[in-house]
Homo-oligomer: A and B are copies of this chain.
Amino acid sequence: MTFAHAVTDRTRRLQTRLCVGLDPRLDAYRDAAHLRGHTLDVLEATAPYAACIKPQLAFYEALGLEGMKLLEEVCAAARTLGLPVLLDGKRGDIGSTAQAYAQGWLSGQHGGSALTVNPFLGFETLTPFVDTARANGGAVFVLVKTSNPGQADLQGSGISERVADEVRRLNAAEPQSEYPSVGAVVGATHPGDLAAFRALMPRALLLLPGLGAQGARASDLSGAFDPGGTGALASASRGVQYAQGLDVQASAAAARSFRDELNAALKQ
């Protein structure tokens, strides 16, 4: 089962469109062991409400070797729980270097099966990521329009739309898949643009970051979904993991709440 298929299957079975971000911040904890325990507890407590999880690689890298070990543990725990893993690394580089990133993050070595990628180096540089994802039943999520206000500096003037066209073009090579291997990142903070990007990339799985701490609201996101309520995942990170300090039950409640708000938005 591919990443896109697994996520969509969870959406249909469990009625959830929520992607739970797991971004452990060292300054929230007494020490590395405390961070590890809490992060794994949040994963387990929020799993019933998540279509997938999204570890942000930056937070694991910031912890050095211990962080990379924890990332492997998080991926293994997610696998045990049946949760697809989307690694948020925003990698991008040329030729054989892109191939090395794809080998590292999309070959199953670290337990992840999907990766966010940055297209700034050019469309040719997406190829090794896409090929590796296809060969392993994984997925790449190409940055189309990021959730931050400053995205317009280099993504404005039609650039986001050109990237969206490339995502559609790449997915045309997989006519059999409901949702092919190439997804797209479109900030949940741009609710007015979601329907347009949905139309530009009709079969792409959309990742919508920015729910919660960044200010996006579930009720504004219905334009990103296909009629059956599939095709998009809205992600929340701090708003789940640190919903009320380090209270794990509050994390579970926040995930349940985001799930319910997304479902309610789709029923209107």
Residues of chain A having any CB pair with chain B under 8 Å: 23, 25, 56, 58-59, 61-65, 67-69, 72, 90-98, 100-101, 103-105, 109-110, 118-125, 143, 146-155, 157, 159, 162-163
Contacts and interface: CB of A to CB of B under 8 A. Distances in A.
B123 A153 contact: yes
Nearest to A21: B97
Given A56-B97, A65-B65, 20 more contacts: A23-B97, A25-B100, A58-B104, A59-B100, A64-B104, A65-B69, A65-B72, A90-B91, A92-B118, A95-B148, A119-B120, A119-B153, A120-B155, A121-B143, A122-B149, A122-B152, A122-B153, A124-B148, A154-B154, A157-B157
A163 B155 CA distance: 12
Contact of A122 (B56, B61, B64, B154): B154
Nearest to A105: B61
A66 to B, nearest CB: 10
A29 to B, nearest CB: 14
A61 B162 contact: no
Nearest to A143: B120
Contact of A123 (B56, B95, B109, B150): B150
SS of A interface (majority): helix
A148 to B, nearest CB: 4
25 contacts: A25-B100, A56-B97, A56-B100, A58-B98, A58-B101, A58-B104, A59-B97, A61-B100, A62-B103, A63-B104, A64-B110, A65-B72, A90-B91, A94-B146, A118-B120, A119-B120, A119-B154, A120-B120, A121-B143, A121-B146, A121-B155, A122-B149, A122-B155, A124-B150, A159-B159
A162 B157 CA distance: 13
A207 to B, nearest CB: 14
A105 B146 CA distance: 23
A123 B95 CA distance: 26
Nearest to A94: B148
A80 to B, nearest CB: 20
A42 B119 CA distance: 32
A151 B124 CA distance: 9
Contacts of A93: 56, 58, 90
A143 B90 CA distance: 15
Nearest to A98: B58
B62 A101 contact: yes
